Structure 1
Amino acid sequence: MNSLAIKKRKHVISLTDLSPQETLDIINRGIEYSDGHIPLGEQLKGKVIGIYFKKTSTRTRTAFTTAALRLGAQVITYGPNDLQLNTGETMDDTLNVLSRMLDGLVLRTAESPDVLRAFANQESMSILNAMTADEHPTQALADLTTMKQHFGTLSGLEILYFGEGNNTTTALALAIAKFPNMKIRFFTPPNYNIDPLLLKYAKEEGAKRNTIIEEFHDLKLLPNYTDIVYTTRWQTTGTVKSDPNWRTIFEPFAVTDQLMLKYPNAIFMHDLPAHRGDEVEASVIDGDKSIVFKQAENKLHSAKAVLEWCI
C-alpha cells in the first residue's frame, strides 16, 4: 500500500501542467538516457507500474513498459476489456483500488485529459498520459528530446509540420511554446486545423519567449527555410474522416522528394506509424535525411525520464 509514500506523486497529464524548467529537465534527462550515460536498474526498484491502453499502440506502450522494466520496476498491463470499468464499476472505485496498489499508471484513452485529472486526484499514484483525444504529451517530449540531441540546442530551430491538426500537433505547439526563439509553422488542410483555443494558448505562451507558432492552410505561404520537416499519418488513431473526399484535400500536404529539395539542410521526422505513399514518400522516410527511427527509439529514453521524474 502506498500510504507510506514520502511525498505527493507528480503527474504528466498535459504539457500545460509542466513548467518550462520541468519540461527541459525531462528532455535533458531523456538525452542522458539515450546517450547511455546513466546506469539502469535502481531508479524504480520496488515500484509497480500499471500500463492501461484502451487504444492500439506500438511505440508508446512498448516504450513505457520497457522503460519501467529497465529502471527496475515491475509492470502490470491492462487491455481495453480487462478492468471492471467495462461492467459498470465507477472510475472513483477503480481509482481508489489502483492507487492503493500501484505507484504509477500509464494510460491511453479516447477521452479528454480532463478525464485523467480525475485519476490524478490522489497522492500515491502518478498518472501519465500516453495519449488522449486532444493531446499526446509524451510524444512531444520524445520529439523535443530528439531535436535537442540532434542539433545540440532547441533555441533557434525552425520546424515545418504538414498534415492534420491532431493530438500530436497540439502537444508540439504546447511544448515548443515553453522554449525561447523557436519557430513552428503548421500547414494543415482546410477544416482539419488545430484546436483554436489550444493554438491560441500556445501562441500566447510562445510570444512571451520570442517563439513563433503559426498555422496556415495555403501551401503558397511556405517559408524558404526550415531545420525540420515533420508529418504524421493522415488517419489519426481512433478517428474517422466524415468527408468521403478527404484524401483529395490531404494529397497536396504530403511530404515528397520535391518538397525536401526545397529544404536541402532539413531533417525529416514522423511520429509513426507511417503510411508510405500517403503522407510521405518512401524515398523520404527511408532516406538519409530521415531520423524517424531514432525519434522512435527516443520514446523509450524519454519514457524513462518521465517515469523517473514522476515517481
Structure 2
Amino acid sequence: MQTSFRGKHLITLQEWTKEEIDTLLDVSYDLKRKFAMGQRTPYLQDQTVFLMFFEQSTRTRNSMEAGITQLGGHAHFLDTSNMQIAHGESAKDTAIILSSYGHAIACRNCFWEQGNKYLRELAKWSRVPVINMQCDLYHPLQGLADLMTIQEKFGRTERVKVSIIWTYATSHKKPISVPLTQSLLFPRYAMDVTLAYPKGYELPDWAIEQAKKNAEENGGTFRITHDQEEAYRDADVVIPKNWGSWVTNQSTQVVDDLLEANKHWKCTEELMKLTSKNSIYMHALPADRNNEVEDSVIDGPHSVVYDEAENRLHTAKAVMLLTMGGRS
C-alpha cells in the first residue's frame, strides 16, 4: 500500500499510480464505514481548504465542504467572480497567497483550453496540494466515485463491460472531462470499455491513444462505436451522458445543427433491455431528464445514481485526508 501522499497534487488520476488510487479507494471505504456507524473522524483538525469555483456546483462543492467538516477542518467557498481573479490577478499570485493561508487549494475551472492550464499554474506555485474539482479535460473526483461504485456493485472490475455513451442535452455545452476521465481510468482496472458517440463529438486523439495503451498494459479493452444500440448490447454498466463538441467546434453555442441531428441518442427503457441482466445505469448528475434519459430509467431499478453521488463524499474525504494529512 502506498503511504506517501502529503502535498501531492491531484490534477488527473492518469498521473497517479494504480497503487496510489487503490490506497485512495481503501481509505474511501474505511471513511464510508465510519460515516455509516457515526464514528467521528477528526483527522484534519483545524485545517483549511480553499474551494475556488469558476462555475456552478452541487455535488462537488457540498461533498468537499461536508467532507472537510467531517474530517475536523474547514472549507472556504470562493466564487472567483468575487475574487481579484475577476480583475486579472494571476494564478501565480493567487496560489502563493492562498497556500500561505491554509492547507490545500481546490479549483473548478472548465473553460475550454484554459481550465487545466490554470490548475497546473496553481500547482506550480502552491506550497500545498492542489485538487482538481473539474477542469476542461479531467474530473478525477468523479472518476474515483465512479470506480468505487462499480467495485461495490460488482465486487470486481475485471471484465466488467462498461459503455460510456454520448446523449442529447440542451442545458449547457458540457465539458468532456467526465467521459475523458472514465475512458482513461476504467481500462486501467481491466474493464472492457466502449466509447459511443455520433461523429462530431470525438475526444482528443491523445486521450484515445492513452486509453488504448492503458487497456493494453492492464488487461482491459477499449473500443469506439458510433452505434448506440451496439454500446448498450450486453453492457454491465452504461453511462449515458452528454458532452460538448469542443474538440471539433469551440463555439460556446449550446444548440446547433449537429446536436439537433442526434436527438435520438437518448437512454430509454428499450435500450436498457439490450443490456446484461444485472446492469446498472450511472450518471455524474445533474442529468438532463427526458433529453439524456427517460425518468423511468434514472428512477428505475437499474439506476445507481444516488449511490454514485454519495460516494463523491467518501472519495473526496479520502483525497483531502491523504494529500493534506497523509504521511510525508
TM norm structure 1: 0.90
Q: Give the drift of 1:239.
A: 7.8
What do residues 174-225 of structure 1 show as CA deviations (whole Å, max 9, x unaligned)?
211322x311101112110112211111211221111112222133644741
**Alignment match of 2:130 (pick from 117, 127, 148):** 127
Residues of 2 paired with 1:30 and 1:7: CA distance?
15
| Corresponding residue number in structure 1 for 2:191 | 182
1:58-69 to 2 correspondences below 5 Å: 58-69=58-69
Q: Give the drift of 1:242.
A: 6.4
Q: Is contact 1:187–1:253 with CA below 8 Å preserved after alignment?
A: no
**Alignment match of 1:210 (pick from 201, 205, 219):** 219
Assess, with a 3 A threshold, how the Cα gap between structure 1 residues 232 and 36 changes in structure 2: closer, same or farther: farther
Counterpart check, 1:158 vs 2:161: yes
| Corresponding residue number in structure 1 for 2:264 | 252
Report the secondary structure of 2:309's partner residue.
Answer: helix
1:1-311 to 2 correspondences below 5 Å: 9-36=7-34, 39-109=39-109, 110=111, 111-122=114-125, 124-163=127-166, 166-179=176-189, 181-219=190-228, 221-222=230-231, 224-233=233-242, 240-241=252-253, 244-263=256-275, 264-311=277-324
What do residues 270-295 of structure 1 show as CA deviations (whole Å, max 9, x unaligned)?
11001111111110000011000111
The one-letter code of the counterpart of 1:271 is A
The one-letter code of the counterpart of 1:294 is D
Q: Is contact 1:189–1:249 with CA below 8 Å preserved after alignment?
A: no
Report the secondary structure of 2:55's partner residue.
Answer: coil
Higher mean C-alpha deviation, range 234-243 or range 285-294: 234-243
The one-letter code of the counterpart of 2:321 is E
Report the secondary structure of 2:194's partner residue.
Answer: strand
Higher mean C-alpha deviation, range 230-239 or range 41-50: 230-239
Residues of 1 paired with 2:46 and 2:138: CA distance?
31
Assess, with a 3 A threshold, how the Cα gap between structure 1 residues 48 and 220 changes in structure 2: closer, same or farther: closer
Report the secondary structure of 1:78's partner residue.
Answer: strand
The one-letter code of the counterpart of 1:153 is R
Q: Give the drift of 1:129.
A: 0.3
Q: Give the drift of 1:241.
A: 4.5
Higher mean C-alpha deviation, range 50-59 or range 120-129: 120-129
What do residues 4-41 of structure 1 show as CA deviations (whole Å, max 9, x unaligned)?
xx996111101221101111211222223233368433
Residues of 2 paired with 1:239 and 1:288: CA distance?
38
Q: Give the drift of 1:252.
A: 2.9
Q: Give the drift of 1:170.
A: 0.6
Residues of 1 paired with 2:134 and 2:158: CA distance?
26
Residues of 1 paired with 2:314 and 2:179: CA distance?
21
| Corresponding residue number in structure 2 for 1:3 | none
Q: Give the drift of 1:269.
A: 0.5
Q: Give the drift of 1:47.
A: 0.7
Structure 2: any 5+ residue segments left out of the alignment? 168-174
Q: Is contact 1:251–1:279 with CA below 8 Å preserved after alignment?
A: no
User: What is the number of equivalent residue pairs in this alignment?
Assistant: 305
| Corresponding residue number in structure 1 for 2:171 | none
Higher mean C-alpha deviation, range 88-97 or range 214-223: 214-223
Q: Give the drift of 1:235.
A: 6.2
The one-letter code of the counterpart of 2:303 is S
